[in-house]
Structure 1
């Protein structure tokens, strides 16, 4: 484990002071087997989980002195006397209890109530306090299923009552009672937050924050900016960032090999470029070169928008490994993408006299054997391929740098297998999907980050328009005119085959329709085709033997045909924002002006309309990613299952990016000044890691 060697992992056993919070949920009052099962549906199995299950809303209750002062509809608390019970006249009808206070009447309505319960809760002639929503029914005030029935001497319900998310058979009363008991169990703990930060932000102590978050006095206390909630969110984010900082430090301390290039090969490639690299590309290469020259293993994420020039940065980085006397490998998730990388790298590598080869799962026979033999002999300097590059039998002479493209499509185990192919090679991970800063810090906080936020010169802006699919004939006619002028175009559909269950256009059907109109100029590409057929269609399109490529989202990433200038996306409203941006990025890659047409099916939902509007307004992938995050949430944007994105109970990644950045800075600063976590604050942080269950994350992430 990361910390075992350094003596800075959380204690081997959970601190006894936390034991009461990690008991079973059914040890809380009012939580029986059924309630425990319902709590489990909310991901709650212990008192500790209940502490962080905060109210999501609140009910304002007005204390009303006289029934005559009620203003239906409103939620009110009133004192009344029970006048009479009216039993249901027939099955399925409600019990009615008529109450009065001399200034007016109020009818309490109960469905499925038992006579014994009604008579015991609301005895005839007795005064009682009832609270709930009062509405008018046939001109008479009534309250259906009061929230509270109390005796006049009982404590009244609060003026603002918290409302918790529920599941199964849970009631508000059950959750509130469990929360109160869990708060009673919460021990006073030494504070893990930096005192200066806590004072500056005006945050309360941990136990005070818990009590306040569960007892809001008004809507302002439910806000993300409420001091109690902000402090609890920060605790979560800080614990997560501490874990990432520990893992990052462990990786940085892991012995690597210094790979120092002399710049000779890079200079030859740069001289062969039609225009100079952007400042962002130069900065990224400098950062990577510095990492590779250090004695520690590099673990860096290169993040760039569509068309920002990641491939050039990858090549220049791989050339550092070659200049240092070693080899590099570039692994892509699909064969199409691997071949695209090869096509982009080979001419530039040739200019520097560097040999590049391809290896995919489809390669067989003598050709494959020759590639493997040359690779092992060091005759191949850069290998490009799919997951085939880390299979048994693939041996490098001296692997110095592994570059992984679209890393989220590869698991941790696959990255480790690739890393094991060399003697402690450096690792560069690339993603073409711009990730909002808060998500990048949450998901990749253990990595160093390089961002490409400029586009190379010569790239033309893409004109984006949206049309209803009812104008399909006009679209096809305009496409006909463009193809006559030798244009090349993509036509993207959301499905491969027609489906009765889903009302979306299928690529197969659209291909047949366009083929009938344009003949042999049309090709089809989708993920279910045999790789040979897919490659042949792509090759025809890239070479100009075909002018129109009908495809699914298999072309979303990496496909690079600079001559393609038209992108039609059918049923555009069914795609996510980031996906639409990636698809649009398949055009505008050459020097000719390009266009993207978003075809939508009416009526458009409000969310669909907003997505298309954002695409028309902006081509900035990072702004689009932020909008996507705001609209869809963190898990949907990245894909929680594959990303390992943490699930926070209190913190909101979409709206608390500033807190995440603050937590990251704080965690790194603490490890600089207290590397053993041995100070008073360091020991408090160890307790926090146990409380937030980051002990498990430390063990898991040290393998990544």
Structure 2
């Protein structure tokens, strides 16, 4: 990873000329180093196969002899289908080519031939994609050929030749970055050999061994960056060391109207310990829907205020901000702690009053939306920033709020349970606390998967719940009708339910409504003035409505698993039994898998694990903004054990004094330097 190959332009590779450098740039390749780091995503296997050992539909390579005269059928001027009988011992098969009739003259009886294509077992047909005549030019028979992600006029053949040429010219300059200790510990190939074998493996085993080496390196370097940042950050005593009044905090916890779970107590101990340290806390608090994250945040805010500092709680929506403020007021009122609300819909006069009180220190805790990060918001002594729903705020927005204090502590909460391995990777610069258990008395939500022809029964279920004084959510994937998708939309369903339930009030909520309109509808529902709320997924992160006991999701097979779990979490917040009904198309296989997971378990961590298996990490997080690294080779689901090894190795290494001085670690220190880890700016 020295700069040599990365500062060497890709035009130094023989054959890279004309428009090719420009086209390579579109793939993110401008240097020789980047070309060699551009790995194949799979291999084509040209090993000769025995036709008696292959399955129908397999892609195979076989060697045979032309045994008949080729027959050509033309379709129009250019399209054709050509067939020819070939003996592939012990079978007599038909080879089929589409639009390759120019090969006809080469197919003379007795000619040896190597064919690659898709095998049709029933008809003994091979649909040929590639053909070779042994002894005529170079052959790929018996080899593994890399397949790259290429675009434009760059062909697989050209890219293969170019990487091969780059390895010939510069392969010996590929530097080693991993210390000998780690290479020996895991019996890893030297980097030079691993890179060459990834591009040109002699066998699948060699390719797998090369991949194993480079996957470890990729995950190790990522974790090294995170662990070095954390170690250096912990050594920089420029955070707030809060003089936490532990007896006062214990008394506050004892006075709560409920008992904390063991999980909540453990997490609180971790947070209170961090608050007392001189470095900045950077902790992710994750827990399932309804696991009691807000109470944990409230205790942390109480501790900070008692230590003489201010706290800020940033949430995604105004109505959620109002709800949190009401909850905090109930808890803090007996202690004289002053809270304020700061949202976009405040009048100018009220806003000025709140800003003035904040700056003078008359407000202890401010709850707000993005309005908190505007330029004219100043704190007197900001000590703790809590952000709710990690994925709704960009990294940049969180860092703006952090800079409003003298490096305040940061607690980030998310109700999207993330498997531990993924959490330590995606949020490697954070400590991760997890709430595993739900508060006592929570009844599990009963979940049912039904088909569209059971709609009448579903409507009867809604009527029964509403008649008993409860409320229901009805979720649709679209706002309005679409020509492309045959799925239910909120506007039509709202009209249907108004017709079906003339005696009840049915509300409508969707993303195209103005924020104030959305808040009004949500307020009406939370205050019980609406009986049924038809909505798109805008309520996924929503308010607490303890009286809502039924969640109906139309076309549930169109939603991701974690999203369905979040929607289900909108009910089951009160004393009454709650239900979730998922209406879906039984023919959608992936949808069926999701619905099975939903009816099997209420555990958000198990749901998240299955969602990862079905969708992969990129889709799981939904946005690049979430901070999930985009690895070249590593897969965060299948390589999770390597990830944990890499993390432990990196954490151990940066704590050793010799890591910062010994020659064996120079390449790693250079890597950290290039990644700006020694700069004072936070990773955010």
TM-score by length of 1: 0.85
Return the alpha-carbon distance in structure 1 between the equivalents of residues 65 and 578 of structure 2: 74
1:695 equivalent in alignment to 2:681: no
1:53 equivalent in alignment to 2:39: yes
1:297 equivalent in alignment to 2:286: no
Give the 3 Å change call, closer, same or farther, for CA 204–486 of structure 1 in structure 2.
same
- The structure, 1 or 2, with the larger RCO (C-alpha pairs under 8 Å, 6+ apart) is 1
State the partner residue of 1:92.
78
CA-based RMSD: 3.9
**Alpha-carbon contact 1:401-1:428 (below 8 Å) kept:** yes
**Alpha-carbon contact 2:67-2:109 (below 8 Å) kept:** yes
Match of 1:449 among 424, 432, 448: 432
Number of residue pairs matched? 676
Give the 3 Å change call, closer, same or farther, for CA 603–84 of structure 1 in structure 2.
closer
Match of 1:383 among 348, 366, 370: 366
**Alpha-carbon contact 2:175-2:191 (below 8 Å) kept:** no
Return the alpha-carbon distance in structure 1 between the equivalents of residues 261 and 657 of structure 2: 39
**Alpha-carbon contact 2:46-2:145 (below 8 Å) kept:** no
State the partner residue of 2:519.
535
Return the alpha-carbon distance in structure 1 between the equivalents of residues 54 and 572 of structure 2: 65
Match of 2:408 among 415, 425, 432: 425
Give the 3 Å change call, closer, same or farther, for CA 642–212 of structure 1 in structure 2.
same
**Alpha-carbon contact 1:281-1:313 (below 8 Å) kept:** yes
Q: Report the secondary structure of 1:186's partner residue.
A: helix
State the partner residue of 1:206.
191
**Alpha-carbon contact 1:108-1:145 (below 8 Å) kept:** no
Q: Report the secondary structure of 1:568's partner residue.
A: strand
**Alpha-carbon contact 1:92-1:112 (below 8 Å) kept:** yes
**Alpha-carbon contact 1:82-1:97 (below 8 Å) kept:** no
State the partner residue of 1:5.
none
Give the 3 Å change call, closer, same or farther, for CA 239–140 of structure 1 in structure 2.
closer
Return the alpha-carbon distance in structure 2 between the equivalents of residues 352 and 138 of structure 1: 81
1:598 equivalent in alignment to 2:582: yes
Deviation string, structure 1 residues 108-165 (Cα, Å, up to 9, x no partner):
88776797x998xx6999977645349799999888464434527x775352423414
Name which of structure 1's ranges 157-166 and 333-342 shifts more when overlaid on structure 2: 157-166
State the partner residue of 2:505.
521
**Alpha-carbon contact 2:552-2:580 (below 8 Å) kept:** yes
Return the alpha-carbon distance in structure 2 between the equivalents of residues 68 and 655 of structure 1: 33
Q: Offset at 1:661?
A: 1.5
State the partner residue of 1:559.
543
Q: Which runs of 5+ in 1 are unaligned?
A: 1-9
**Alpha-carbon contact 1:272-1:351 (below 8 Å) kept:** no
1:230 equivalent in alignment to 2:212: yes
Return the alpha-carbon distance in structure 2 between the equivalents of residues 100 and 683 of structure 1: 60
Match of 1:328 among 302, 311, 326: 311
State the partner residue of 1:23.
9
State the partner residue of 1:7.
none
Name which of structure 1's ranges 670-679 and 251-260 shifts more when overlaid on structure 2: 670-679
**Alpha-carbon contact 1:487-1:565 (below 8 Å) kept:** yes
Deviation string, structure 1 residues 603-637 (Cα, Å, up to 9, x no partner):
43110000010011111111111111111111111
Deviation string, structure 1 residues 532-560 (Cα, Å, up to 9, x no partner):
33333323322223322222222112421
Name which of structure 1's ranges 187-196 and 389-398 shifts more when overlaid on structure 2: 187-196
1:612 equivalent in alignment to 2:595: yes
State the partner residue of 1:400.
383
Deviation string, structure 1 residues 66-112 (Cα, Å, up to 9, x no partner):
x9999999844648699999999894366989999999999988776
Q: Offset at 1:433?
A: 0.9
**Alpha-carbon contact 2:285-2:432 (below 8 Å) kept:** yes
1:161 equivalent in alignment to 2:144: yes
Give the 3 Å change call, closer, same or farther, for CA 359–75 of structure 1 in structure 2.
closer
**Alpha-carbon contact 1:340-1:558 (below 8 Å) kept:** no
Q: Report the secondary structure of 2:172's partner residue.
A: coil
State the partner residue of 1:496.
479
1:370 equivalent in alignment to 2:353: yes
TM-score by length of 2: 0.87
